[in-house]
Amino acid sequence: MPPTIARYCTLVRRGYTFGMKTAVSIPDDVFRKAERFAKRANRSRSEVFAAALREYVSRHSPDEITDAMDRVCSQLGEQGDEFVSAAGHRLLRKSKW
Number of domains in the chain: 1
Looking at residue 77, what is its pLDDT?
A: 79
pTM: 0.50
Q: Is residue 53 part of a domain?
A: yes
pLDDT bracket for residue 14 (50, 70, 90) = very low
Q: Is the pLDDT of residue 3 over 90?
A: no
In a domain, 61, yes or no: yes
Contact 56, 63 (CB under 8 A): no
Residue 12: inside a domain? no
> Is 10 within the bounds of a domain?
no
Q: How far apart are CA 68 and CA 63, in angstroms?
A: 9
Q: Is residue 65 part of a domain?
A: yes
| In the predicted structure, residue 34 carries a pLDDT above the cut 90 | yes
DSSP string, the chain: --HHHHHHHHHH-BTTB-S--------HHHHHHHHHHHHHHT--HHHHHHHHHHHHHHHH-HHHHHHHHHHHHHHH-----HHHHHHHHHHHHHS--
pLDDT of residue 53: 93
Domain-located, residue 60: yes
pLDDT at 6 over 90: no
**Rounded mean pLDDT, 32-40:** 96
Average pLDDT over every residue of 62-84: 84
The predicted-structure confidence for 38-63, as pLDDT tens digits, reads as follows 999 999 999 999 999 999 988 888 88
Examine residue 59 and state whether it is found in any structural domain, yes or no.
Answer: yes
**Residue 85, in any domain of the structure:** yes
Q: Which domain holds residue 48?
A: 20-94
